[in-house]
């Protein structure tokens, strides 16, 4: 099992506006191997952050979502350039604000193997 975390940096005070866009997922919930999605927020001194955490049966399931037509349709709008994006220029998972919103400061994707979970998932 893996957890993919898309950390989105947002201008201070705009977390609620961006978080609202995640209430209606755009297909990820139907992707093979998808287990769950959680949205975490944090207010920092210089900006706010949202962490879009998706749990998958394995890396192949996550990669299948990222390379799917459904993913491309869900992310068919422009986004800020990601830092250290392992998909090398491809869109990272999770919703992003619409073009011109001006509140996105960047995003970074990290993928983690789940070593154990309590209670058992």
Model confidence over 18-44: pLDDT tens digits? 999 888 888 999 999 999 999 999 999
Enter the pTM of the model: 0.77
Distance separating alpha carbons of residues 34 and 48, to the nearest angstrom: 27
10 Å Cβ neighbour count for 65?
A: 22
Adjacency order of strands within the sheet including 104-113: 34-43, 48-56, 2-10, 104-113
């Amino acid at each position: 099992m893996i957890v993919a975390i898309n950390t989105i940096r947002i201008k201070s005070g705009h977390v609620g506006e961006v978080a609202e866009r995640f209430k209606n997922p755009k297909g990820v919930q139907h992707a093979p191997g998808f287990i769950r999605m959680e949205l975490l927020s944090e207010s920092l001194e210089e900006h706010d952050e949202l962490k879009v955490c998706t749990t998958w049966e394995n890396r192949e399931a996550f990669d299948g979502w990222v390379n799917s037509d459904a993913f491309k349709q869900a992310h068919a709008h422009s986004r800020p350039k990601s830092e250290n994006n392992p998909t090398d220029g491809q869109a990272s998972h999770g919703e992003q604000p619409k073009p011109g919103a001006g509140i996105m400061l960047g995003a970074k994707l990290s993928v983690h193997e789940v070593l154990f979970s309590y209670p058992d998932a």
